[in-house]
Amino acid sequence: MKSYKILIDKYKDQNKIAFVLGAGQSLYDAYMDYRWKDIHKYVVISVNSSIIIMPWKKGKPDDRYWISNDALCMRWTWFEDVIKAKCIKIVRNSWLKHKKKIKGFLIFKPRPTSEGVVRPGDRGLCFCSSVPSSIDLSLQMNNKLIFLLGVDQHNLGGHSHFWELLDRKYRPRQLQPAQGPYNQQKKVFPINNLAYKALAGFAEYKKARIYNCSLLSKVDVFEKISLDYMWKLIKKYEKKKIYNS
């Protein structure tokens, strides 16, 4: 199977804007925003269950990506959306035991972040969760302005995932046990935060900016902004690109 490395520097010198879509509760607010469809003008990296709101059953896969660390996602009904999606799919090498089910997917190996730093020459993607992997991928592809949606690390009002707020008929189901209780899920948050710290340094090295577009997010490493301010920044950034061209 092919390595994710074919994507490194894909957008070099293009000053691309990218969205990384986690599955946290705040993604629902972004999804219900009247400007939602406009994110698909840019590079979009869907993480795990966020695939269910991606309009990717048709079209070209060029700037569309789906990524996961966790092979247990194959136990969810939404994994069928992954299979059908017209996008580039990337998974961790722990998935190789399922290679007959993931033909055409790209493979990555995890790279170390235990020291809270990323060495630019290392190959592989941050782990142990899929959002750090997605941010790392976006930086390695050389996107310059990266917006995080649905990256919360909290349980608000009894909900930790955006799809819990959807109409019941649109919510995914577990076909087999795939997700532990929230108290178990949050044990990985300190590990994620170490990876985020490393990625913040990597972003500085790559001369890229990362914004977390959830003001209530517990992920404090990246500057937090509102959705309204996000769109203002995009407009300002694109205007600057035009003037500099």
Q: Per the structure block, which two tokens stand in for 93?
A: 């090498």
Cis ω for the linkage preceding 73 (within 30 of 0): no
Q: What is the pLDDT of residues 174-230, one digit of tens each?
A: 999 888 777 778 888 998 999 999 999 999 999 999 999 999 999 999 999 999 999
Fold observed for domain 4-244? sialyltransferase cstii, chain A (3.90.1480)
Among positive and negative, which fits the CA dihedral 8, 11, 13, 18?
negative
Q: What is the pLDDT of residues 127-141, one digit of tens each?
A: 889 999 999 999 999
The model carries a pTM of 0.95
Tell whether the model's pLDDT for residue 245 goes beyond 50. Answer: no
Q: Chain centroid to CA 130: how far?
A: 7
| Structure token digits, residue 96 | 């190789």
Q: Which residue ranges make up each domain of the chain?
A: 4-244
The reported pLDDT for the residue numbered 156 is 87
Q: Where are the beta strands (DSSP E) in the chain?
A: 17-21, 43-47, 64-68, 88-92, 106-108, 145-149, 209-212, 223-224
Rounded distance between C-alpha atoms, residue 80 and residue 230, angstroms: 31
